[in-house]
């Protein structure tokens, strides 16, 4: 599976996971994933992937 590890998050007021419009970028997104378990899991997974990539580079 070659899923994109870097999300194409071009619109900061749109949730990249469900496409919903956010009340505001940043804080609005945090509120949004707080109320949407699926999006929160997607975000955690995405963040974990980033952390994993960084860890891989740093361990070299
Ligand atoms: Zn969402």
User: In this structure, what token pair is assigned to residue 56?
Assistant: 């891989």
pLDDT over 90, % of the chain: 45
User: In this structure, what token pair is assigned to residue 45?
Assistant: 């997974």
pLDDT of amino acid 38: 97
Kindly give the distance from the C-alpha atom of residue 31 to the centroid of ligand 1, in angstroms, as a whole number. Answer: 10
Kindly give the distance from the C-alpha atom of residue 18 to the centroid of ligand 1, in angstroms, as a whole number. Answer: 4
User: Is residue 60 predicted with pLDDT exceeding 90?
Assistant: no
Q: What is the mean pLDDT of residues 30-48?
A: 94
Q: What is the mean pLDDT of residues 31-40?
A: 96
Kindly give the distance from the C-alpha atom of residue 49 to the centroid of ligand 1, in angstroms, as a whole number. Answer: 18
Q: Which of 33, 7, 5, 8 is nearest to 20 (CA)?
A: 33
Task: Give the mean pLDDT of the chain.
Answer: 81
């Amino acid at each position: 599976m070659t899923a994109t590890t870097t999300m194409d998050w071009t619109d900061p007021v749109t949730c990249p996971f469900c496409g919903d419009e956010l009340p505001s970028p940043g804080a609005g997104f945090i509120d949004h994933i707080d109320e949407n378990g699926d999006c929160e899991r997607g975000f955690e997974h995405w963040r974990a992937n980033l952390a994993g990539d960084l860890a891989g580079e740093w361990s070299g």
